[in-house]
Structure 1
Amino acid sequence: MCKKEKLIQEIDWFSIIIPLIIVFLLCAVFMIFPGQATLILQMIRAFLGDECGIYYAILGCGIFGCTLYMAFSKLGHIKLGKIKKPEYSSFKWGTMIFTSTMAADILFYSLCEWALYAGESHIKSMGGIQEWASTYPLFHWGPIAWSFYIALAVAFGFMLHVRGRNKQKFSEACRPILGNRIDGALGKGIDLIAIFALIAGTATTFSLATPLLSMAISSVFGLSNTVTLTIIILILIAVIYTFTVWFGMKGVSKLATYCTYLFFALLIYFLVGGGETRYILETGFSAIGNMIQNFIGLSTSMDSLRKTSFPQNWTIYYWAYWMVWCVATPFFIGKISKGRTIRNTVLGGYGWGLAGTFTSFIILGNYGLAQQLKHGLDVSGIIGNGATYSEAILKIFDTMPLPELGLILLVITMIAFYSTTFDSITMVVSSYSYKKLDVDKEPDRRIRVIWSVIFIMFPIALIFAENSMYSLQSVSIIAAFPIGIIVVLIIASFFKDAYNYLKSHKK
């Protein structure tokens, strides 16, 4: 049997063809009927975010608690794989976790998220911009957010490295509870929901941050900032990450390292070059303390009277956003955690993840906050008066020395983040496309290329339709609703399977 015929038999075509059809249909709807599609999105989001918001909030708190139990109970001693030492060094493992899970939206949000909160009446009622516009980004990208990744990373790592299962699918992780029912229509339904959620998450990420890339390039090189330029940039990113993923995990690992260096260079540029080092560090230190002190209150705040609907508009969106991304990234974290204990995976994942996200928001975000509060650059007012988020971010860069150089560094770093993240996702979802695939084997290059193309189609349609941030957020909130149920099933299945494992290995 030739390699081509063998590959055709090994692939689960249902998991490729059905999502591809759905993507084609969604692209057609958003490009032909952008207004009507946006209205429907907003109606569904209003119901799920407003009426069912507590569902997302309980999931966030509950899953965070589960990760702590995983780390500090006797389950924490279980080793993911029968090897003497971890497959990757701590530094390489940590950089792969951060760069391969964050995408370029970490830079986009770090630069402007504080300004999105600054105009909220909720922030003013709590005490003002200085204290809370710097705190909420750390909360929304903090422990609860990372818990979605970490809980499933442990479950998938256990499934792959301890149980040695060769079906790398969401449904397979539910087997301890659902049994053989996952081999039928129920399992296919779970996998289809997971793939759709992943496509929705990638589309949201690309559609939010890519316009910043487009505007930065047009500003530096004097080009017209058009939808066409944005789409060309998207295609360029797809070419880069497709090229890298062609070389497998070695390519992903190298790109993650390069991406980390670029990220550090951008942070140093703002921290040292911006002249606000003291303010940045002091505000960041205070924001961390403020978040820790108010963590439980922030986690359970629901604004029942809907005075501002801040939790519904922001916190619920973020938990949903992280949930749709947890379809693929935990698989990647679980795969690269071979040789680590569950405790090390949980605590190390939190350590590296929070260090990266907090550093980004503290340095990039607090520099912009300093420009507004100390130097009169009304960034939140610029956004409130109808300017795009990208235009506001460019105003911040204008206050820096050598702003063109800074924008070029931003563009290169964003492309590296995009490429590294989508390398890892493409590797995971390509493995997802096989009926069976051993954990140590990589999916065929042709399958990786197919998924590279699929991932870029929906965001092009969303950008072409010029959807607002509210509409783009709606895509994630809608896709995350069924994923939450599946995530609970996977975590429950892990606990059942892990305790059975401990019983069978009790000396």
Structure 2
Amino acid sequence: MKEKQKIDWGVTFIPFALIISIAILFFIFPVESNQILSEIRYIVGDVFGVYYLIIGLGIFLISIFLCFSKIGEIRLGGQDEKPQYSFPVWGSMMFTCGLAADILFYSFAEWIMYADNPHVAELGDIEEWANVYTLFHWSFIPWAFYLVLAVAFGFMLHVRKRSRQRFSEACRPIIGNRADGLLGRLIDLFAIFALLAGTATTFSVATPLMSSIIGELFGLSINRNVITIVILVITCVVYTYAVLHGIKGIGILAKVCMTLFFGLLVFVLLFGGQGRYSIENGFESFGRMIQNFIGLSTYVDPRRKNNFPQDWTIYYWAYWMVWCIAAPFFIGSISRGRTVKQTILGGYCFGVGSTIISFIVLGNYSLGLQAAGKENFVSMYAESGDLYEIILKIVDTMPCPVFVLILILLTMMLFYATSFDSIAYMAASYSYKNLEENESPNKLLQLLWCVLLIVLPIALVFSESSMGNIQSVSIISAFPIGIIMIVMIWGFIKDAIMEEKRR
């Protein structure tokens, strides 16, 4: 009974009821639901698109300020406290909880989706610019979202020792006691809904690739039922492991995931035949991205000549913003004993570094074949529009393609394991009115969140939502989250300045 009294059933069941209702509408009215999504996305993402770009660049600049100001020396915990985890373990958990299996989908094929966009043609050759945008969309600004909020949450948990692990509590330095009232409740409900939308986007994008790989390996016909079975099997197996082993289990899975992930990258780099090209073009693309960083961050296309920022940059910033509900909480919780500066710079080193390596190796493999005239993946995509099929064809050009497919499948499953385990764990923690720093959420409540996290993705798969409509879920959900993030960061800086003066 005591356990039930600690749970905020409103925050737990209102999003549950809302998501179930939306999922039912997608099942019953798939066409109409997708049309409504598109219309709302146009209003939020197109009319107010610059809002997302301002938040992205602003938070990146704030991360630099935090590192090199006196706030950067504040330790997330006691003044002499040592880090709770070693750097490799900490970095592995941070990277795998922050990125799900979709990193492999996008690493292989994102540049192909850019290739026929007029904006890339205006900038120059596809070979020179397509990979620049993949690095830009997955590096410093996205990880700034995570890391700035992570140190804000870490400060709240390990310095202020607050027991309410919620967005509303992080906003308390600005909104005061209203964090306990209606305003705080609305903030928490928006956050939970955004969390569900973010996981839905990731599942809906990456899971069809896993089912395609399974179909290729076992000769199965791919349809929505197979995709749904894949989702259910992954969630049942993975989440059960998480419930039984908690943070320790996530740490073990993260290390195994990173081993397989870098094993895949090393294999492709050494034996794929495009190693030199991948390194050189990746190095050049990274330099071009740094050189044009401000221009890439502020490009809006006001006359809508190509809609590139509306289709991609704005979507990505929104996508990462909705993932900011759980991932920064988790990163903040495992960063105890590190300073603000160490957390942000370490996150950039491990998170951004690993992400960039993935896109350089896997993206440039297929781009190298395209540039050399050995394959024409751009034409294949223009004809079929099926990126999952194209990724299978990319893998088929590698040595030992069956081995590579198995390695990709296992790595994606472990990415799902670590990212969604951490999300379920933090979402369950979010359901408590109060949860002490070293207290774990109830395992049955974690299982409830496991179920909730897969409902909307299955609905999107069955409604045959396009990539644009899947993107819309994130863009719409991120709009209110951006405002909440600003309040949280403002509150953290205000509180941290007071703490620095006290010390």
Match of 1:28 among 24, 40, 45: 24
Partner of 2:330: 332
Greater displacement, 211-220 / 232-241: 232-241
Matches of 2:293 and 2:38 in 1, distance apart? 30
The one-letter code sitting in structure 2 at the alignment partner of 1:146 is W
Q: Secondary structure at the match of 2:212?
A: helix
**Does residue 174 of structure 2 align to residue 177 of structure 1?**
yes
**Does residue 191 of structure 2 align to residue 194 of structure 1?**
yes
Per-residue Cα deviation, 1:170-208 (whole angstroms, up to 9, x for no partner):
000000010101101111100000000010000000000
Tell me how far 1:387 sits from its aligned partner: 3.3
Tell me how far 1:221 sits from its aligned partner: 0.7
Partner of 2:88: 91
Q: Secondary structure at the match of 1:439?
A: coil
Per-residue Cα deviation, 1:95-137 (whole angstroms, up to 9, x for no partner):
1111111000000000010101111111111011111111100
Matches of 1:288 and 1:51 in 2, distance apart? 31
Note if contact 1:431-1:437 (Cα within 8 Å) is conserved in structure 2: yes
The one-letter code sitting in structure 1 at the alignment partner of 2:232 is I
Partner of 1:11: 7
Partner of 1:119: 116
Partner of 2:50: 54
The one-letter code sitting in structure 2 at the alignment partner of 1:64 is F
Tell me how far 1:320 sits from its aligned partner: 0.4
Match of 1:444 among 414, 425, 442: 442
Per-residue Cα deviation, 1:389-424 (whole angstroms, up to 9, x for no partner):
100101101101111111111111101001110011
Matches of 2:81 and 2:325 in 1, distance apart? 29
**Does residue 489 of structure 2 align to residue 491 of structure 1?**
yes
**Does residue 414 of structure 2 align to residue 416 of structure 1?**
yes
Q: Secondary structure at the match of 2:305?
A: coil
The one-letter code sitting in structure 2 at the alignment partner of 1:66 is I
Match of 1:456 among 443, 454, 457: 454
Match of 1:145 among 130, 142, 157: 142
Matches of 1:206 and 1:382 in 2, distance apart? 25
Write the mapping of 1:36-115 to structure 2, written as runs, cut at 5 A: 36-82=32-78, 84-115=81-112
How many pairs were matched up?
Answer: 501
Greater displacement, 42-51 / 172-181: 42-51
CA-based RMSD of the aligned residues comes to: 0.9
Note if contact 1:117-1:133 (Cα within 8 Å) is conserved in structure 2: yes
Partner of 2:270: 272
The one-letter code sitting in structure 1 at the alignment partner of 2:277 is Y
Match of 2:258 among 253, 257, 260: 260
Matches of 1:221 and 1:99 in 2, distance apart? 28
Q: Secondary structure at the match of 1:133?
A: helix
TM-score normalized with structure 2 length? 0.99
Unmatched tracts of structure 2, length 5 or more: none
Partner of 1:235: 232
Per-residue Cα deviation, 1:209-262 (whole angstroms, up to 9, x for no partner):
100001111011111111111111101111122122111111000000000011
Matches of 2:451 and 2:44 in 1, distance apart? 30
Matches of 2:122 and 2:151 in 1, distance apart? 40
Match of 2:151 among 150, 154, 161: 154
Greater displacement, 478-487 / 444-453: 444-453
Tell me how far 1:386 sits from its aligned partner: 2.6
Matches of 2:287 and 2:341 in 1, distance apart? 25
Match of 1:314 among 312, 315, 318: 312
Q: Secondary structure at the match of 1:363?
A: helix
Matches of 2:239 and 2:207 in 1, distance apart? 18
Per-residue Cα deviation, 1:300-351 (whole angstroms, up to 9, x for no partner):
1111111111111111010000000001100000000000000001111111
TM-score normalized with structure 1 length? 0.98
Note if contact 1:371-1:396 (Cα within 8 Å) is conserved in structure 2: no
The one-letter code sitting in structure 1 at the alignment partner of 2:306 is T
Partner of 2:283: 285
Per-residue Cα deviation, 1:30-51 (whole angstroms, up to 9, x for no partner):
1100100100111111111211
Greater displacement, 314-323 / 366-375: 366-375
Note if contact 1:87-1:336 (Cα within 8 Å) is conserved in structure 2: yes
Greater displacement, 433-442 / 485-494: 433-442
Tell me how far 1:84 sits from its aligned partner: 2.7
Note if contact 1:301-1:311 (Cα within 8 Å) is conserved in structure 2: yes
Write the mapping of 1:362-373 to structure 2, written as runs, cut at 5 A: 362-373=360-371
Write the mapping of 1:324-363 to structure 2, written as runs, cut at 5 A: 324-363=322-361
Unmatched tracts of structure 1, length 5 or more: none
Matches of 1:15 and 1:407 in 2, distance apart? 41
Q: Secondary structure at the match of 2:432?
A: coil
Matches of 1:301 and 1:228 in 2, distance apart? 41
The one-letter code sitting in structure 1 at the alignment partner of 2:307 is S
Q: Secondary structure at the match of 1:134?
A: helix
Note if contact 1:41-1:475 (Cα within 8 Å) is conserved in structure 2: yes
Tell me how far 1:269 sits from its aligned partner: 2.0
Matches of 1:74 and 1:503 in 2, distance apart? 10
Q: Secondary structure at the match of 1:467?
A: coil
